Structure 1
Amino acid sequence: MLRARSITKSFGNLTVLKGVDLEVKTAEIVSIVGSSGAGKSTLLHILGTLDRPDGGEIFFGTTRVDRLRTKALAHFRNRHIGFVFQFHHLLPEFSALENVCIPGWLAGKRKKEVEGRALELLGTLGLSDRTDSKPHTLSGGEQQRVAVARALINQPAVVFADEPTGNLDSVHARELHALFLQLRDQFRQTFVIVTHNEELAQMSDRIVHMKDGVVLS
């Protein structure tokens, strides 16, 4: 489903990625682990099309995304890729429901269709009674579940998560772990996760170890 070949990336004189290869299958949860500076987040941002590689190829199915122009790439990203970050990046002036709906509206989908999908997702994630709540009234775990629902609204091929439990306590972190497993089993959702959380990594289908800009295993 996702194939990256010989990915390189440098910032000035610093080479961060040194020819990374990675394949991810549909309905697979892959965790990328390694020490700080290993290149994990840089790789995640490139795979998620938030940054471009200096060299190499990235395919989503038969689409080579590293060759797409800026407008086409943004369109592809909105329709096929979801993101969950350590800090939830919810818009404070909007309700939980509205935050989830925004990527669907940006994709040009009908308002009622998007709202129906958002309500379904919020219900699946245990937030049916929080749809009208603003982010500041939600717990950290609830905010992260809203962020997960937002990532899923356009039924993406893959969700990229960058340290998704980094801002959560252990209880909410375990709840998020269980949620990822539920979404994989229920929706055949694919996840690629960068994490320092050993428990989250261990529950994955596969762990990819990085060091000094290369994949070790």
Structure 2
Amino acid sequence: MLKAVDIHKRYNQLEVLKGVSLEIQKGEIVSIVGSSGAGKSTLLHILGTLDSSDRGECFLNGQAFHQLRDKRLAAFRNKHIGFVFQFHHLLPEFSALENVCIPGWLAGYRKKDVENEAKRLLDTLGLSHRLENKPHELSGGEQQRVAVARALINKPDIVFADEPTGNLDSHNAKELHDLFLDLRKQFNQTFLIVTHNAQLAEMSDRILRMSDGLIMEN
């Protein structure tokens, strides 16, 4: 489903990615692990269209998205890709429900349909009683669940998670691990996760180990 071929990235004199290739199948949970500076987050951001490579090709369901630019790239990202970050990046002035709805509204879907889907997701994630709460009124684990619901609102082909448990205590981290497994079971959702959390990595179908800008195991 997701395919990257010979991805290179350099920042000034620092070569961060040195020819990375990988394939992710539909419904897989794949983790990328490695020491800080190995290139994990840079690779994730390129695959998620948040950054561009200097060389290489990226495909999602056969679409060569490395060739897209500006509005077409933004529309592709919003429709096909979901993101969960270490810091939740929820908009503080909006409720949990509104934060989840925003990608759907940006995609141009009917407001009521988006709201109904957001409520369904938040209910699935155990947050039906928190719809009108703003981020500062939610716990860290609850904020991360809202971020997961937001990532899923447009039914993306793949969710990219960059250190999703890095800001959570062990209890909430365990709950998020279980949530990813549940979402794969319920929706056949695909995840690519960058993590330092050994437990999160171990529950994945595959672990890709990065070192010095290359994948050492695939």
Q: TM-score interval w.r.t. the shorter chain?
A: over 0.9
Distance 1:120 1:87 in 2: 24
Show the counterpart of 2:210: 210
Distance 2:69 2:102 in 1: 23
Q: Does 1:149 align with 2:154?
A: no
How many angstroms does 1:44 deviate by? 0.2
How many angstroms does 1:151 deviate by? 0.2
Give the 3-state SS of the residue equivalent to 1:174 in structure 2. helix
Show the counterpart of 2:183: 183
Distance 2:191 2:69 in 1: 25
Distance 1:43 1:23 in 2: 13
Distance 1:27 1:151 in 2: 16
Task: Give CA deviations for 1:80-131 in whole Å, capped at 9, x if unaligned.
Answer: 0000000000001100000000000000000000000000000000001001
Show the counterpart of 2:74: 74
Show the counterpart of 1:12: 12
Q: Residues 1-217 of structure 1: matches in 2 within 5 Å?
A: 1-217=1-217
Distance 2:69 2:46 in 1: 15
Question: Counterpart amino acid of 2:130?
Answer: R
Distance 1:65 1:192 in 2: 17
How many angstroms does 1:70 deviate by? 1.4
Give the 3-state SS of the residue equivalent to 1:216 in structure 2. strand
Distance 1:29 1:62 in 2: 20
Give the 3-state SS of the residue equivalent to 1:91 in structure 2. coil
TM-score (norm 2): 0.99
Give the 3-state SS of the residue equivalent to 1:165 in structure 2. coil
How many angstroms does 1:142 deviate by? 0.2
Count of residues paired in the alignment? 217
**Structure 1 residue runs without a partner (length 5+):** none
Distance 1:135 1:62 in 2: 37
Question: Counterpart amino acid of 1:169?
Answer: D
Q: CA RMSD in A?
A: 0.4
Distance 1:145 1:214 in 2: 32
Question: Counterpart amino acid of 1:30?
Answer: V
Distance 2:207 2:133 in 1: 36
Question: Counterpart amino acid of 2:168?
Answer: L
